[in-house]
A = this chain, B = another copy of it.
């Protein structure tokens, strides 16, 4: 299977703790990296992860609270020091555009690459980016400021070649790509070997959704239905529901309920409030509703 992995760089919430970095994650699809949120310290964590800075071309910022974006200017400065020439793409709520430009003008004069800003409409579930490997959709969330989640849908991969059949029919190497792309094979005596004999189907495309920060939104089910991995914030325990509502955050119980109702394959919870020294309470609460739940932690890589 082609690579589709999530690496957690930071999963704390706004207050710094000794346990967590601020929010940042990297999706690795076939060695292309897509960063989601970029809290302070994201570039340090990226360095520790051994993921390659040069393979990172896009960052998706969910919202403009500092714990989700204060690491961006440092990351871009570092790209400059590393001699980057490839454009870098920043997807974020529109208000960030002018502020980012001012930071670049002040701190990053003379970069050898462009930083291109793409505003996200945080009120829509819409395609916001695609390339050969992936389509990325916004997910409208509800927080104290405009905020978007992200849905990463892998593009279909090509079917697998059946080595035994290729050998049996003596099909030359230069035809393999055509067969991967669906062509039948005509033998020397004119017999047609259907493509389905020569290949096994590709794995179904996989998907990953990121929802942070947001209050509990049961209506997200329609976007999240059947995703392979859902990262959802679970800032609070359900005993602190009042605080969760007040701050537009979600409890572990609510995140698990959404995961269960959306029939996702796996749930990863994060964005933990600094108040919980012992986060296993959050995990237990979520698992009581949806057993396929894991806790985010720094440097964790999840295969999707």
Contacts and interface: CB of A to CB of B under 8 A. Distances in A.
A156 interface: no
Interface residues of A, number: 29
A64 B44 CA distance: 20
A26 to B, nearest CB: 15
A196 interface: no
A44 B70 contact: no
| Ranked 10 nearest A-B pairs via Cβ | A40-B74, A66-B77, A16-B47, A70-B74, A41-B41, A16-B44, A18-B48, A16-B43, A99-B106, A66-B107
Interface of A: 14-18, 21-22, 40-41, 43-44, 46-48, 64, 66-67, 70-71, 73-74, 77-78, 81-82, 99, 102, 106-107
Contacts of A46: 16
B81 A14 contact: yes
Contact of A82 (B15, B17, B64, B102): B15
A102 B103 CA distance: 10
A57 B18 CA distance: 22
Nearest to A43: B16
A18 B40 contact: no
B99 A15 contact: no
A162 B47 CA distance: 57
Nearest to A48: B18
A86 B140 CA distance: 38
